[in-house]
Amino acid sequence: MISREDIEGLAALARLQLSDQEVESLQTDVSSILEYVGQVSSLEVSASGPIAPAHHNIMRDDTPRAAEDQLAGKEEAIRAAFPKREGDYNAVRKILQKDE
Amino acid sequence: METTLAQLSITEAAKKLKAKEITSLDLARACLIEIQKRNTSLNAYLEVFADAEAQAKAADARRAQDEKEKKESHPLLGIPLAIKDNILIEGRIASAASKMLEHYVASYDATVIKKLKAAGVVFLGRTNMDEFAMGGSTENSAFGPTRNPLDEGRVPGGSSGGSAAAVAGHLALGALGTDTGGSIREPASFCGLVGLKPTYGAVSRFGAIAMGSSLDQIGPLTKSVEDAEIIFNTLRGIDPLDSTTIGEGEYAARPRRKRVGVPRHLLKEGVDADVLAQFDLVLTKLQTQGYELVDVELPSAGLALAVYYIIMPAESSTNLARYDSIRYGLSLKGKDLTEDYAKSRAAGFGPEVRRRIILGTYVLSAGYYDAYYGKAGLARQKLTDEVTRALETVDAIVVPTAPCPATKIGEKSDPLSMYLMDIFTVTANLTGNPALSVPMGTVTREGKTLPVGIQLTAAHGDEAALFELGKKIQNLG
């Protein structure tokens, strides 16, 4: 079974605070799901090597929105959703703290 | 139940609107009356829009204007629809049935909404769902489960369960859902409806709250195949705001063969006997209509569910990383920035969402990536090749949509047994093929008659094959 430390490590990576009880139930749930999905390891990959993935990224130029698309002119509505707004700015916490 | 206009299909209502036998306001009011009667117990809608009647009046005015200008009105003009709560409508809340977005007001229209507005659709409200579309029963909503209108002790399926319940209970004429692993087709099966998961890229997802981006599609839940076709034709097309969208000419047209593929090897176990009996009955009837049944082999299909439950959590956990409490959504304060994130995400996400985030984080971790996500990607490609090859000789591959009818509320309590309900639906999301669930009769559970669906899967871009065969099955009687 997946260890308590592993679940806590994953929760830290995923920025999720978990209660002790939830860590425990996740140990059971995640272990049984992983056991099931582990079936994929039975897949034999052909000797010719891995198959090229079908999906690829499509890039576009970073240009201003065209006036006809539905995002045009929605800046204020987007700002209105900021949890903490100062003028037109989204006020956020300091990320880098000075050494004390 | 006395007959009401709310029981009409979209096609029937459009005909009556055109003939001026009814108005859009009549239709909207008929649905609002059913909502008034049943929504408290069904919990199909999370919110009914206060301006539904005003929208209907505007649609009626537009019809009068079209007539004056001798313009053909869009078949969806004035049709009242329900919209799943993960599709953005400007100025309205879109919560994905999550505490994280409980008060989030959409700042723009999803492309599908833009298109439906252009057609003149009346939006009745936003429907309940499994939180962030994670679930197959609509029990994972942060705002309580939705009940199946055909048996209120049972689930409507999910994750688009609110949409399905709204249509099946005549609280709307049709609805939009989203489908990442069966979230349109499974509720369609459980509620006796038609549900379409279009070809990957056929319909823009811009403005749909993302779950698994290589899997998600938006599609209709309707009372008939014709209705699903009308909505699909309105929604489809290239969208510069969703780079995965494709045009109608992306895949070459295919000849009809009147041949239907049946992967018998997948039906040997795990399907309820009476569901399988209904399935075989439909196949026999199709034969009498001149369809040839062909055994098809999909050797990797047994791995589909495992592949799906690696790829989907990987993509979901990545997509859900955007809920950081900084730009929108629930925002709680901790002692530092890291704790702000962790507290907000713990309070905002429900248990199933947290479970899938942890699972996704695990399979993407260095050291496990090759064994899980890497292998799953290879299996996915292999499965896609197999499905494509099988479809070279048949018009569609058919299986039951779900292994059983609607389950009871609370019946599936451990996550893995719930995931197993998706066994037949996930393949089309992994391979990108279009798939349609059509009612195929009923089975009985504890004295209740419950519908079950048959799922048709066609070649990429060949929704036409689904509609053609779907209508045949719908009209078998």
Give the start-to-end residue ranges of the domains of chain A: 4-39
Which member of A41, A71, A84 has the closest CB to residue B371?
A41
Which member of A17, A38, A58 has the closest CB to residue B346?
A17
Q: What is the mean pLDDT of residues B5-21?
A: 98
Cβ-Cβ contacts under 8 Å, A95 against chain B? 337
Which member of B325, B358, B414 has the closest CB to residue A7?
B358
The pLDDT tens digits for B334-361 are 999 999 999 999 999 999 999 999 999 9
Q: What is the mean pLDDT of residues A71-78?
A: 90
The pLDDT tens digits for B450-464 are 999 999 999 999 999
Which member of A14, A32, A36 has the closest CB to residue B317?
A14
| pLDDT score at A58 | 79
For testing contact with chain A, the best of B358, B380, B416 (most A CBs within 10 A) = B358
For testing contact with chain B, the best of A1, A3, A17, A31 (most B CBs within 10 A) = A17
> B326–A92: do the CB atoms touch at under 8 Å?
yes
Any CB–CB contact under 8 A between B349 and chain A? Answer: yes
| pLDDT score at B122 | 98
Which member of A54, A81, A94 has the closest CB to residue B327?
A81
Any CB–CB contact under 8 A between B367 and chain A? Answer: no
Average pLDDT over all residues of chain B: 96
Superfamily of domain B1-300+375-477: Amidase signature (AS) domain (3.90.1300.10)
> B309–A36: do the CB atoms touch at under 8 Å?
yes
| pLDDT score at B412 | 84
- Distance from the Cα of A26 to chain B's closest Cα (Å) equals 7
- Give start-end residues of each CATH 3.90.1300.10 domain in chain B: 1-300+375-477
| pLDDT score at A48 | 52
| pLDDT score at B349 | 98
Task: Assign 3-class secondary structure to chain B.
Answer: CCCCHHHCCHHHHHHHHHCCCCCHHHHHHHHHHHHHHHHHHHCCEEEECCCHHHHHHHHHHHHHHHHHCCCCCCCCCCCEEEEECCECCCCCECCCCCHHHCCCECCCCCHHHHHHHHHCCEEEEEECCCHHHCCCCCCCCCCCCCCECCECCECCCCCCHHHHHHHHCCCCCEEEEEECCCCCHHHHHHHCCEEEECCCCCECCCCECCCCCCCCEEEEEECCHHHHHHHHHHHECCECCECCCCCCCCCCCCCCCCEEEECHHHCCCCCCHHHHHHHHHHHHHHHHCCCEEEECCCCCHHHHHHHHHHHHHHHHHHHHHHCCCCCCCCCCCCCCHHHHHHHHHHHHCCHHHHHHHHHHHHHCCCCCCHHHHHHHHHHHHHHHHHHHHHCCCCCEEEEECCCCCCCECCCCCCHHHHHHHHCCCHHHHHHCCCEEEEEEEEEEECCEEEEEEEEEECCCCCHHHHHHHHHHHHCCC
Any CB–CB contact under 8 A between B415 and chain A? Answer: yes
Share above pLDDT 70 across residues of chain B, in percent, rounded to a whole number? 100
> A40–B375: do the CB atoms touch at under 8 Å?
yes
Residue B10 has pLDDT above 90, yes or no: yes
Pick B425 or A47 by higher pLDDT. B425
pLDDT band for position B156 (cuts 50, 70, 90): very high
How many CB pairs (< 8 A) connect A and B? Answer: 153
Q: Is B24 a catalytic residue?
A: no
Q: Find the residue in A nearest to B383 (Cα).
A: A43
Pick A73 or A27 by higher pLDDT. A27
pLDDT band for position B449 (cuts 50, 70, 90): very high
The pLDDT tens digits for B227-275 are 999 999 999 999 989 999 999 989 999 999 999 999 999 999 999 999 9
Residue B41 has pLDDT above 50, yes or no: yes
Cβ-Cβ contacts under 8 Å, A10 against chain B? 358, 361-362, 365
Any CB–CB contact under 8 A between B107 and chain A? Answer: yes
Residue A46 has pLDDT above 70, yes or no: no
> A10–B371: do the CB atoms touch at under 8 Å?
no
- Distance from the Cα of B362 to chain A's closest Cα (Å) equals 7
Q: Find the residue in B nearest to A81 (Cα).
A: B328
Active-site choice (B159, B163, B189, B300): B159
Cβ-Cβ contacts under 8 Å, B114 against chain A? 70
| pLDDT score at A62 | 85
| Burial bucket for residue B451 (CB in 10 Å: 0-12, 13-18, 19+) | buried
> B331–A95: do the CB atoms touch at under 8 Å?
no
| pLDDT score at A47 | 47
Cβ-Cβ contacts under 8 Å, A60 against chain B? 243
Active-site choice (B9, B24, B183, B189): B183
Q: What is the mean pLDDT of residues A49-54?
A: 58
Chain B residues 142-201 within an 8 A CB cutoff of chain A? none
| pLDDT score at A93 | 87
Q: Is B137 a catalytic residue?
A: no
Pick B467 or A44 by higher pLDDT. B467
Q: What is the mean pLDDT of residues B99-107?
A: 97
Domain A4-39, CATH 1.10.20 — does that match? yes
Q: Find the residue in B nearest to A85 (Cα).
A: B327
Any CB–CB contact under 8 A between B63 and chain A? Answer: no
| pLDDT score at A61 | 82
> A53–B377: do the CB atoms touch at under 8 Å?
yes
User: Is the CB of residue B38 less than 8 Å from the CB of residue B31?
Assistant: no
Q: Is B84 a catalytic residue?
A: yes
Any CB–CB contact under 8 A between B417 and chain A? Answer: no
